[in-house]
Amino acid sequence: MTKTKIAYFRANDEQKKFFKEKLGQSHDILFFESNDIKKHLDGIGDIDILCVRTNIDVCDKVISKLPKLKLIVTRTTGFDHIDCKFANNKNIQVCNVPNYGSKTVAEHAFAHILHLARNISKFDANAKRGEFTKESLKGFDLNSKTIGIIGGGKIGCNAAKIAKGFDMSVIVTDPFPNKKLAEEIGFRYVELNNLLQNSDIISIHTPLLPATKHLINKENVDNIKKGCIFINTARGAIVSNQALIHALDKSIITKAGLDVIEGEEYFLFGKEGEEIENINNIISRDNVTFTPHVGYYTKEAEQRIWQTTIDNILNFEDGKAQNCINK
């Protein structure tokens, strides 16, 4: 009996072991450490399933080179790295992992918030140099501050719950308001411009879609409340780098905590150009904390990602596809 053939990209030893134990008997798995599928197309032309994650470009040209492909499964919630429309036209199913990090990423957003609110890295750096001064490093309470959450899905709502634990006032903008949930958690919905103008802290938790690309841009960034702390643990391109640079230069945003940044894929593929210069401009500032897209990266979340990915594959093969993007 011919085994189902899977190409698994961006694999480390731990992942290889896990997937071999779970699928190795019934599937032929080709593991690649690389992010760049295009370099390996000649060797994977007969695969049935493609397994990827963020920053792996599954474009129409890649899909066209895989004539036997039946399923693309991404080990992420976001799927903007996949040409889902083209895959749908080719009758290729696309599945994601929707809920693995709904609490994990919200916690990471608050790690950035607390880090910035209390100047943790600066105190630590000073102490390691033998300097124990607290001058110019006075923090501020989260209690009574207003946090504006852009995106009221599972991650955004978990961020709202955490914020309420700090006795913060919470406002949310989302195109699909859930009034019952707002009442249960204790937040209220507002329009984006209202949120920008009235938030002491802004935290982004919306997916990257055509409608949300550059949601924060040069046209609306001046509306942000002056002195705001700005957090993005969602997708980099939701925020224009040019707009963020402007807001930081003008002290509209006084501190930023970023787990993602527009053009972050340039680092992975070694590209050069204006976007790299913009990224370096932003993350080199001492009032910006940057973590390289690791908001999901905990032991528990990673296990959920792997198991759900396997479940997606097995359910698809049983004719019971789950977590489908292009139904």
145-157 pLDDT, tens digit per residue, is 999 999 999 999 9
Q: What is the pLDDT of residue 1?
A: 63
Crossing angle for the helix pair 274-283 and 241-249, to the nearest 10 degrees: 40
Give the count of beta carbons closer than 10 Å to the beta carbon of residue 216.
Answer: 24
Which residue segment(s) compose the domain that 80 sits in?
A: 4-100+299-317
Residue 323 lies in a domain: no
Q: Tokens in use for 136?
A: 């110019």
Contacts by residues 120-123 (CB-CB < 8 Å, ≥ 24 positions apart): 121/289, 122/286
Residue 244 lies in a domain: yes
Task: Say whether both 130 and 213 belong to one domain.
Answer: yes
Task: Say whether both 94 and 116 belong to one domain.
Answer: no
Label residue 221 exposed, middle or buried (CB < 10 Å: 0-12, 13-18, 19+): buried
Given 53, 108, 235, 304, the catalytic residue: 235
The question of whether 235 is a catalytic residue gets the answer yes
118 in Cβ contact with 141 (< 8 Å)? no
Q: What is the pLDDT of residue 135?
A: 85
> Tens of pLDDT along 249-305?
999 999 999 999 999 887 765 666 678 899 999 999 999 999 999 999 999 999 999
Task: Say whether both 83 and 220 belong to one domain.
Answer: no
Given 115, 214, 275, 317, the catalytic residue: 275
Task: Say whether both 59 and 191 belong to one domain.
Answer: no
Closest CA to 260 of 212, 297, 213, 292: 292
Task: Say whether both 255 and 310 belong to one domain.
Answer: no
pTM higher than 0.85 for the full model?
Answer: yes
Q: What is the pLDDT of residue 263?
A: 92
The question of whether 293 is a catalytic residue gets the answer yes
Residues in the chain, pLDDT under 70: 1, 268-273, 327
| Cβ density class 110-137: b for 16+ within 10 Å, e for less | bbbbebbbbbeeebeeeeeeeeeeeeee
Q: What is the pLDDT of residue 267?
A: 72
- List the CATH number of the domain containing 16: 3.40.50.720
**How far is the C-alpha of 232 from the C-alpha of 293, rounded, in Å?**
10
The question of whether 285 is a catalytic residue gets the answer no
Q: What is the pLDDT of residue 272?
A: 65
